[in-house]
Amino acid sequence: MQLPQHPLTRHIIWISLSLTASFLLGWWLAYPLQFVAITVAGWLVWYLVKMKLLIQWLKSDSTTLRNTGLPTFLKAELAAWQRRSNAIIKQTESKFSALLDATNALPEPLLFINAKHQLQRFNSAAADGLGLTDRMLGSAVDNVLNTTEFTHWLESRGLESDYLKISSPIDQNKTFKVQLLKYTRDQHLLVFTDITRIQLQSKIRHDFVANVSHELRTPLTVLNGYLEMLTADESDSNHQVFLTLHKQTLSMNELVTDLLELARLQDESNKRKSITAIVDVPILLNELLLTAAELSQGQHNIKQHIDKSLIIPGKKRDLKSAFGNLIANAVRYTQPGGNIQVNWYKQAGSAVFEVIDNGTGIQAQDIPRLTERFYRADSSRNRNQGGTGLGLAIVKHVTEKHNGRLEIESCPGEGSTFRISLPLANI
Ligand code: ADP
Residue 85 within a domain: no
Round to whole Å and give the CA distance between 127 and 119.
Answer: 13
Q: Which residue from 403, 247, 388 is spatially nearest to 313, judged by alpha carbons? A: 403
Ligand 1 pocket residues where CB is under 6 Å: 325, 329-330, 333, 357, 359-362, 370, 375-378, 382, 387-393, 416
Residue 350 within a domain: yes
Does the model's pTM come out above 0.85? no
Mean pLDDT confidence for 361-388? 81
Residue 84 within a domain: no
Probe residue for ligand 1, chosen from 258, 261, 366, 376 as the CB with the greatest number of ligand atoms within 8 Å: 376
Residue 289: alpha-carbon gap to chain centroid:
40
Based on the fold, state whether residues 215 and 149 are members of the same structural domain.
Answer: no
Say yes or no to pLDDT of 42 above 80: yes
Ligand 1 atom with least separation from CA of 376: 14
Q: pLDDT at position 41, please? A: 95
Out of 121-125, 148-152, 256-260, pick the least confident.
Answer: 148-152
Closest-CA residue, ligand 1 atom 14, reads: 376
CA of 210 to the centre of ligand 1 (A): 23
Q: pLDDT at position 307, please? A: 96
CA of 377 to the centre of ligand 1 (A): 7
Say yes or no to pLDDT of 352 above 60: yes
Ligand 1 atom with least separation from CA of 394: 6
CA of 331 to the centre of ligand 1 (A): 10
CATH of the domain at 400: 3.30.565.10
Residue 114 near residue 186, CB atoms below 8 Å: yes
For residue 316, the one-letter residue type is K
* Final residue in a domain of this structure, among 249, 271, 293: 271
Q: pLDDT at position 13, please? A: 92
CATH of the domain at 154: 3.30.450.20
Q: Name the domain count of the chain.
A: 4
Instruction: Using pLDDT thresholds of 50, 70 and 90, give the confidence band for residue 326.
Output: very high
CA of 68 to the centre of ligand 1 (A): 87
CATH of the domain at 260: 1.10.287.130
Strand partners, 140: 118
Probe residue for ligand 1, chosen from 321, 392, 417 as the CB with the greatest number of ligand atoms within 8 Å: 392
Q: pLDDT at position 192, please? A: 94
Round to whole Å and give the CA distance between 302 and 291.
Answer: 12
Closest-CA residue, ligand 1 atom 7, reads: 391
Residue 86 within a domain: no
Based on the fold, state whether residues 64 and 29 are members of the same structural domain.
Answer: yes
Based on the fold, state whether residues 124 and 71 are members of the same structural domain.
Answer: no
Closest-CA residue, ligand 1 atom 11, reads: 376
Q: Please report how many Cα atoms fall inside a 13 Å half-sphere around the Cα of residue 418, on the Cβ side.
A: 27
CA of 360 to the centre of ligand 1 (A): 10
Residue 98 within a domain: no
Based on the fold, state whether residues 152 and 245 are members of the same structural domain.
Answer: no
Probe residue for ligand 1, chosen from 265, 302, 382 as the CB with the greatest number of ligand atoms within 8 Å: 382
Based on the fold, state whether residues 320 and 362 are members of the same structural domain.
Answer: yes
Average pLDDT value for the chain: 90
Closest-CA residue, ligand 1 atom 1, reads: 389
Residue 179 within a domain: yes
Residue 93 near residue 31, CB atoms below 8 Å: no
CA of 385 to the centre of ligand 1 (A): 10
Q: pLDDT at position 162, please? A: 79
Probe residue for ligand 1, chosen from 258, 296, 339, 362 as the CB with the greatest number of ligand atoms within 8 Å: 362
Say yes or no to pLDDT of 2 above 70: no
* Final residue in a domain of this structure, among 236, 271, 306: 271
Torsion of CA 23, 25, 31, 33, to 10 degrees: -10
Ligand 1 atom with least separation from CA of 377: 16
Closest-CA residue, ligand 1 atom 8, reads: 389
Q: pLDDT at position 143, please? A: 87
Residue 2 within a domain: no
Residue 101 within a domain: no
Based on the fold, state whether residues 321 and 415 are members of the same structural domain.
Answer: yes
CA of 374 to the centre of ligand 1 (A): 10
Q: Please report how many Cα atoms fall inside a 13 Å half-sphere around the Cα of residue 395, on the Cβ side.
A: 26
Based on the fold, state whether residues 240 and 137 are members of the same structural domain.
Answer: no
CA of 421 to the centre of ligand 1 (A): 19
Based on the fold, state whether residues 155 and 264 are members of the same structural domain.
Answer: no
Based on the fold, state whether residues 379 and 307 are members of the same structural domain.
Answer: yes
Q: pLDDT at position 159, please? A: 59
Based on the fold, state whether residues 321 and 406 are members of the same structural domain.
Answer: yes
**Burial class of residue 376, CB neighbours in 10 A (0-12, 13-18, 19+):** middle
Q: pLDDT at position 231, please? A: 92
Based on the fold, state whether residues 205 and 318 are members of the same structural domain.
Answer: no
CA of 416 to the centre of ligand 1 (A): 10
Out of 151-155, 204-208, 315-319, pick the least confident.
Answer: 151-155
* Final residue in a domain of this structure, among 153, 169, 194: 194
Q: pLDDT at position 380, please? A: 54
- pLDDT (tens digit per residue) in 245-302: 999 999 999 999 999 999 888 887 766 666 778 999 999 999 999 999 999 999 999 9
Mean pLDDT confidence for 181-191? 88
Mean pLDDT confidence for 103-111? 92
Closest-CA residue, ligand 1 atom 21, reads: 329
What range defines the domain where residue 332 resides?
A: 278-423
CA angle 96/100/101 to nearest 5° reads: 115
Q: In this predicted model, which residue has the larger pLDDT, 254 or 355?
A: 355
Based on the fold, state whether residues 158 and 213 are members of the same structural domain.
Answer: no
Round to whole Å and give the CA distance between 397 and 318.
Answer: 9
Q: pLDDT at position 152, please? A: 84
Percent of the chain with pLDDT over 70: 94
Closest-CA residue, ligand 1 atom 17, reads: 377
